[in-house]
């Protein structure tokens, strides 16, 4: 029901090695970029659906899951370079890029640095690095800190309240919630990885450059997000030309799970709208696209 199944990872040929997993045998390629401290497997509800008609890939950031440990202090641009390494390893010239939270920050840098590799862009529950305004709500900050520095038991208690509204938690039931959290938590990353990613997020800043993005962009706005305020999506929409906004007013930061079916349908539609259009065939039989 939760859509998570173990899959043997591949590893990049370049070092430090990134572990990635592939799904689907045909259709347009989609690269999923995960957020802070989480393994790529959290994209399970998306890849289990989209793999039917897309080639999908998610990966573990350095220091997370099956990837190598990597350097201590990270930056978002360096993590965008990691995403390019994944694309290169897959031999994907272009892909639809979907990023959530910190993964959305990485996706912003990826499209700003390598727009030719991005067929479309989807930014889920993320921000452009505005000082102060990008901080969590007071409740979100408290839960984040307790989950970050508490043990696994504390994380199991705080993470659901950080990611989801109480009404959704009540509707899930204890067994389904535990199974879901076991995938999200997995083997928690080492403190050095957590601090390194915090350093990257803290230094993230793309707001002044967002107007340069001309890739078709979908912004996903969970209206009850207490970790990244919904107004941050509004800021992105003001700065990214012609970006579309998909609103889930009753969803929290864990919108990729809470609203999986609706989000997956929206992703499919966005990918179709962003596909190249055949315009003509040349005299020598070559096909031109735009």
Q: What mean pLDDT value characterizes the chain?
A: 91
Alpha helices in the chain (DSSP H): 44-50, 76-90, 102-113, 138-149, 152-163, 166-172, 174-185, 191-203, 231-239, 255-258, 260-274
Q: Between 153 and 282, where is the model more confident?
A: 153
Q: Would you state the pLDDT for residue 235?
A: 96
Q: What is the mean pLDDT of residues 38-49?
A: 95
Q: Between 85 and 275, where is the model more confident?
A: 85
Q: Would you state the pLDDT for residue 182?
A: 79
Q: Would you state the pLDDT for residue 286?
A: 55
Q: Flag whether pLDDT at 279 surpasses 60.
A: no
CA gap 154, 65 in Å, rounded:
20
Backbone angles phi, psi at 23, to 5 degrees: -145, 140
Tell me: the pLDDT tens digits for 71-86? 999 999 999 999 999 9
Backbone angles phi, psi at 239, to 5 degrees: -110, -25
CA gap 229, 241 in Å, rounded:
21
Pairing type for strands 55-59 and 29-33 reads parallel
Q: Flag whether pLDDT at 2 surpasses 50.
A: no
Pairing type for strands 95-100 and 10-11 reads unpaired
Q: Flag whether pLDDT at 4 surpasses 60.
A: no
Region of residue 59 (phi > 0: left; psi between -120 and 50: alpha; otherwise: beta)? beta
Could you tell me which residues come within 8 angstroms of residue 23 by beta carbon, excluding any fewer than 6 positions away?
Answer: 7, 47, 48, 50, 51, 55, 56, 57
Q: Would you state the pLDDT for residue 238?
A: 98
Dig out the tokens for 273 from the structure. 């709208």
Least confident range of 154-168, 173-187, 236-250: 173-187
Q: How confident is the model at residue 248 (pLDDT cuts 50, 70, 90)?
A: very high
Q: Would you state the pLDDT for residue 5?
A: 53
Percentage above 90 pLDDT, the chain:
79
Q: How confident is the model at residue 3 (pLDDT cuts 50, 70, 90)?
A: very low
Q: How confident is the model at residue 290 (pLDDT cuts 50, 70, 90)?
A: very low
Q: Would you state the pLDDT for residue 282?
A: 52
Tell me: the pLDDT tens digits for 115-135? 999 999 999 999 999 877 778
Tell me: the pLDDT tens digits for 167-217? 999 998 888 888 887 777 667 889 999 999 999 999 999 999 999 999 999
Q: What is the mean pLDDT of residues 245-256?
A: 98
């Amino acid at each position: 029901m939760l859509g998570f199944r173990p899959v043997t990872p591949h590893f990049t040929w370049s070092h430090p090695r990134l572990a990635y997993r592939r799904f689907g045998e045909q259709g347009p390629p989609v690269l999923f970029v995960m957020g802070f401290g989480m393994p790529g497997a959290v994209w399970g509800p998306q890849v289990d659906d989209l793999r039917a008609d897309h080639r999908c890939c998610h990966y573990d950031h350095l220091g997370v899951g099956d990837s190598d440990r990597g350097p201590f202090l990270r930056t978002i641009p360096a993590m965008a370079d990691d995403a390019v390494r994944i694309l290169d390893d897959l031999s994907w010239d272009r892909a639809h890029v979907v990023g959530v939270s910190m993964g959305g920050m990485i996706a912003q840098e990826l499209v700003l640095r390598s727009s030719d590799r991005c067929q479309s862009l989807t930014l889920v529950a993320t921000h452009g690095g505005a000082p102060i305004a990008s901080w969590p709500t007071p409740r979100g900050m408290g839960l984040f800190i307790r989950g970050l520095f508490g043990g696994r038991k504390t994380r199991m208690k705080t993470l659901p309240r950080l990611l989801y509204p109480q009404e959704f938690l009540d509707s899930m039931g204890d067994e389904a919630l535990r199974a879901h959290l076991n995938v999200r938590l997995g083997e928690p990353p080492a403190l050095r990885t957590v601090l390194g990613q915090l350093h990257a997020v803290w230094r993230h800043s793309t707001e002044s450059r967002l107007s340069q993005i001309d890739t078709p962009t979908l912004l996903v706005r969970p209206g009850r997000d207490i970790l990244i305020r919904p107004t941050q999506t509004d800021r992105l929409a003001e700065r990214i030309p012609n970006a579309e906004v998909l609103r889930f007013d009753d969803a929290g930061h864990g919108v990729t799970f809470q609203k999986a079916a609706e989000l997956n349908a929206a992703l499919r539609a966005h990918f179709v709208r962003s596909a190249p259009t055949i315009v003509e065939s040349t005299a020598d039989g070559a096909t031109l696209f735009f």
